[in-house]
Amino acid sequence: MTEITKKAPADPSGFVALGEYIPHIVQEIRYYTTFNFVGDRIDGYEEPAALLTKEAARALKGVCAELMVQGYRVKVFDAYRPVCAVKHFMLWGIEDQDIRMKPYFYPGLKSRSFLQRVT
């Protein structure tokens, strides 16, 4: 008797988990960790995984394949930005005393390098 494999239903979001779509890609999702410009884990990053649109992932997969032939691998640091993460960044930007990560990630004044007034 043969085992029948059920096909997973198509994901209607239009996004894919990059590590599943391109298994050999290197992911360094710093917003899931405390080693990022804020110094805290960022809201909305529930897993250390990159999400990308199917179209972008397809294009990146082609680039990765070309680079693998040359002996290189692609490393991804960030690939999506939930709204709650943007709010987290904005709140951090307002707090001008938090410069813990300045030596690692931003050389200038935090308020000038991060925030701009929208008119």
CA distances from 30 to 39, 50, 91, 105, 116 (A): 10, 10, 18, 12, 24
What's the pLDDT band for 4 if we cut at 50, 70, 90? very low
Exposed/middle/buried for 36, CB within 10 Å: 0-12, 13-18, 19+?
Answer: buried
Dihedral sign from CA coordinates of 28, 29, 31, 34: negative
pLDDT for residue 1: 45
Residue range 44-89, pLDDT digits in tens: 999 999 999 999 999 999 999 999 999 999 999 988 889 999 999 9
Q: What is the CATH number of domain 15-114?
A: 3.30.1380.10
Interstrand relation of 75-76 and 26-27 (parallel, antiparallel or unpaired): parallel
Query: Mean pLDDT, the chain, as a whole number?
Result: 84
pLDDT for residue 111: 55
Strand ranges, E, within the chain: 15-17, 26-27, 51-53, 75-76
* Nearest C-alpha neighbor of 43 from the set 32, 35, 28, 51: 32
Domain ranges of the chain: 15-114
What's the pLDDT band for 3 if we cut at 50, 70, 90? very low
pLDDT for residue 79: 85
pLDDT for residue 116: 53
